[in-house]
Amino acid sequence: MEKFTALTAIAAPLLRINVDTDAIIPSREMKKVSKVGLKDGLFAGWRYRDPVARTEDPDFVLNRAPYRDARILLTGLNFGCGSSREHAVWALHEWGVRCIVAPSFGAIFYGNCVRNGILPVVLDAARIEALAAQVEADPSRPVTVDLVTCTLTAPDGTATGFEVPPADREMLLEGLDPIGVTLKRAADIDAFQAADRDRRPWIYLQPGTPAA
């Protein structure tokens, strides 16, 4: 998984509440279980006037420059609610989104973000609206998100702290999934198994092998 330490990038304002995973990627766009080939279906119900012909709606934020290149998404309450489909996070990541800033997230979606290298940042709605106003006034001015210091810096230089659970922060900073975090303790695991094998050898017998 790609590490996340700090990111300075264009931020796109999508200040809608209760954006569910079916809006992020409609079920009709999920044609395979894969992390690639999904970005064209991202927000398909909103990005396209005709989802079949892929006729873009020029009023949708991600269809406008420079937001097409946004890597940070500013959004509303309860982002990523609805079904648990991991395709929603895969589609966002393939588009290029590495950080989503919202007042709250769907719980499963939040976990899927962390496990796929996207940083979910929780800030209050008023602060996000102020950020959105700045990027709308001058979309070319970037926002910086620093996971090392847990600060978000607005285009005007104002810095705001945020909190990330320690285990989630570790996974993102080191580019590890939960299995990777566990394998950091491989030596301890091997030592435990060796000691346990001495204490309880019968546990490790292969089926059909008589006990000594």
Q: Do the Cβ atoms of 63 and 47 come closer than 8 Å?
A: yes
Token duo for residue 151: 């600060």
Q: Is 77 exposed, middle or buried (0-12, 13-18, 19+ CB in 10 A)?
A: middle
Q: With helix as H, strand as E and coil as C, how does 53-99 read?
A: CCEECCCCHHHCCCHHHCCEEEECCCECECCCCCHHHHHHHHHCCCE
Residue 207: its pLDDT value, please? 78
Cα(31)–Cα(160) distance, integer angstroms: 40
Q: Encode pLDDT of 132-150 as tens digits.
A: 999 999 999 999 999 999 9
| pLDDT class of 81 with cuts at 50, 70, 90 | very high
Task: Compute the residue count for the chain.
Answer: 212
List the chain domain ranges. 6-165, 177-212
Count the Cβ atoms, other than its own, within 10 Å of residue 65: 9
Q: Encode pLDDT of 85-119 as tens digits.
A: 999 999 999 999 999 999 999 999 999 999 999 99
| Whether CATH 3.40.50.620 fits 6-165 | no
pTM over 0.95: no
